[in-house]
């Protein structure tokens, strides 16, 4: 009997890579998708006929209950979120509802219907926010800096609480930034590689960015979904930092991306626009994933320079001649 899994957020970057991974491993894959006026299925196009799509929304308890009832999952991966930090400052209530309360809705449904299911919660390095030490590990204190980070903090502790109170197998993956050719266009890395490709092909003459000095620990998304799966194969639930251990600035990312298309005087093509500056910034992130290496046998392979190459190449192909 194949294992059944429910992935929320299966149309997103991580959800689509995870769906592919779990199909390869022989799982029956169910994906929660919200109704939109135009379906957003680009990322799952290649596996759409092999995933069972279930209507639902993290703000709607009844749809979550129905999805859990129909999929009877052995494993649940909760990846659904309003995941863009900048938007969370403009839509804090929605973000809290989807990213915070949505997790309680899912945990309640699981407690009621599949209490033995193993659950993965997409926690984030945004929890560390104004960092208290570098690198950050599972013991580093949290200090979120955005409504997104605050909602994810609520979700993190909700998961820990359901683990302690009801003995449920719930794990938090504290994932640092991970990117890919499937990354949404508004996120820094994709905004840059997409813009660089259009500039290289003569379609745009500049891109507009915000804080060039912020530093992130950027890894490659397909490797990160493997870590999610490994967490749920452990006999005991736990929390894990997943990161490359290297931190680079936005400026470095931009410079490398332009260099990839042979442009050295990149500053000519970049303008700064204060509208991309956040009310509170996470200045620097760098993760220590030695616990994941020790227990899960997981380690990042792709580092930032290689990631830039992968993303620029994909965007050049997309932009075409």
239 part of the interface to ligand G4F, by CB under 6 A: no
Torsion angles phi and psi, residue 215, rounded to 5: -120, 140
Radius of gyration of the chain (CA): 19
Range in contact with ligand NAP (rule: CB under 6 A) among 52-60, 68-76, 159-167, 265-273: 52-60
Task: Look at strands 52-55 and 28-33 and give their pairing.
Answer: parallel
Let me know if 95 is a catalytic residue.
no
Let me know if 166 is a catalytic residue.
no
User: Between 29 and 207, whose beta carbon lies closer to ligand G4F?
Assistant: 207
User: Between 23 and 269, whose beta carbon lies closer to ligand G4F?
Assistant: 269
Least distance from C-beta 84 to ligand NAP, angstroms? 7
Residue 194 binds: one of ligand G4F, ligand NAP, none (C-beta under 5 to 8 A by kind):
none
Query: Which of 1, 24, 26, 36 is close enough to bind ligand NAP by CB under 6 A?
Result: 36
Query: Which of 14, 99, 126, 223 is close enough to bind ligand G4F by CB under 6 A?
Result: 126
| Residue list 174-193, contact with ligand NAP (CB under 6 A) | 175, 177-178, 184
For residue 187, count other CB atoms closer than 10 A to its CB: 16
83 part of the interface to ligand G4F, by CB under 6 A: yes
Long-range interactions of 114-118: CB distance < 8 A, separation 24+: 114/68, 114/72, 114/73, 114/74, 114/76, 115/166, 115/168, 116/169, 117/73, 117/74, 117/75, 117/76, 117/169, 118/74, 118/75, 118/76, 118/169, 118/170, 118/171, 118/232, 118/237
Let me know if 148 is a catalytic residue.
yes
For 209-238, give the secondary structure using H, E and C: ECCCCCEECCEEHHHHHHHHHHHHCCCCCC
Residue among 5, 28, 95, 124 flagged as catalytic: 124
| Residue list 262-281, contact with ligand G4F (CB under 6 A) | 276, 278, 281
34 part of the interface to ligand NAP, by CB under 6 A: yes
Determine the Cα–Cα distance for residues 32 and 10; give it in Å rounded to an integer: 7
Q: Which residues are catalytic?
A: 124, 126, 148
The binding site for ligand G4F (CB under 6 A) comprises 83, 85-86, 124-126, 176-177, 186-188, 191, 209-211, 214, 216, 250, 276, 278, 281-282, 285
């Amino acid at each position: 009997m194949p294992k059944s899994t429910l992935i929320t957020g299966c149309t997103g970057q991580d959800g689509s890579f995870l769906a592919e991974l779990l199909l390869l491993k022989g799982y029956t894959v169910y994906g929660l998708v919200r109704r939109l006026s135009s379906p957003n299925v680009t990322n799952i196009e290649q596996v759409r006929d092999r995933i069972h799509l279930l209507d639902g929304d993290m703000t709607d308890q009844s749809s979550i209950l129905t999805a859990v009832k129909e999929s009877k999952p052995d494993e649940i991966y909760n990846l659904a979120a309003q995941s863009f930090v900048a938007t969370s400052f403009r839509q804090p209530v929605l973000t809290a509802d989807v990213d915070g309360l949505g997790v309680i809705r899912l945990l309640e449904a699981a407690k009621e219907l599949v209490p033995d299911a193993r659950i993965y919660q997409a926690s984030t390095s945004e929890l560390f926010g104004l960092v208290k030490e570098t690198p950050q590990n599972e013991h580093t204190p949290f200090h979120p800096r955005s409504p997104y980070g605050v909602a994810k903090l609520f979700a993190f502790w909700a998961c820990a609480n359901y683990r302690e109170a009801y003995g449920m197998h719930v794990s938090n993956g504290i994932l640092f930034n991970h990117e890919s050719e499937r990354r949404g266009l508004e996120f820094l890395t994709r905004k840059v590689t997409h813009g660089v490709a259009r500039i290289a092909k003569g379609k745009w003459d500049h891109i507009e960015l915000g804080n060039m000095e912020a530093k992130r620990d950027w890894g490659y998304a397909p490797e990160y979904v493997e870590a999610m799966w490994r967490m749920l194969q452990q006999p005991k639930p736990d929390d894990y930092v997943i990161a490359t251990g290297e931190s680079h600035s936005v400026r470095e990312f931009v410079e490398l991306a332009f260099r990839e298309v042979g442009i050295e005087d990149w500053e000519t093509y970049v303008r700064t626009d204060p509208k991309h500056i956040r009310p509170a910034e996470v200045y620097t992130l760098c993760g220590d994933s030695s616990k994941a290496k020790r227990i899960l046998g997981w380690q990042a392979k792709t580092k930032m320079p290689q990631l830039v190459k992968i993303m620029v190449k994909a965007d050049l192909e997309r932009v075409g001649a």
